[in-house]
Structure 1
């Protein structure tokens, strides 16, 4: 298990890229819209992990509301797991709560979020590669 990415919610992806790509010198390896989540993302590897910039496609979706309430900034930390069902079962056995069901993206990756009340205020994503 290791940190896969740290997600940063932003209003303006181009402005954010001026810092992360241009000032820090990170390379954008993926830029796409994730319709099911209502975001445009840009992924910038940094060592064994990456920074994932999230721009809401709709100001009324969860990322848009997050920015409205808290401002731009870290939205969640994503942990790569080998077996997402086992990870969820282990956490739930310890009293942790998920925010919903395990979802599968078009590319086969699977993910679920651990409720911040279970993690001392940090939204955590569990992520399994196909």
Structure 2
């Protein structure tokens, strides 16, 4: 039935600012951008029949396998949709794999990124989730939590 993960979406408040951050600060690829994209079909698929839903949307590419995530700024209807919640549920963060986490952190600090901690080595028993991997978290301009991860074996999910 499900064969792959197609994309993830981040709702942002300013598409230009977010593109600048993800492309220029993090060094990711701007694959495409569409402004005032949508129509009544988008309203329908989002459960709002007869609504002319309009978005600014940017596709951001990550890695050599063509994986993407979307940045979406909702233009209309105003206030829709949002993932802001105090419940502690929903998307918690996006993790990006790096080869050299210390070098990546140093480069991003030079570009003005503030991290939530120092780089942490995950000290759990061998074979458990992320054993001996390294991680650190930071925020994008909208306060979305992002994470750099350096797994003990590149490309291996544990």
Shared fold per TM-score greater than 0.5: no
Q: Which range, TM-score by smaller chain? A: 0.3 to 0.5
Report which of the two has the higher share of helix.
1
TM-score, normalising length from structure 1? Answer: 0.44
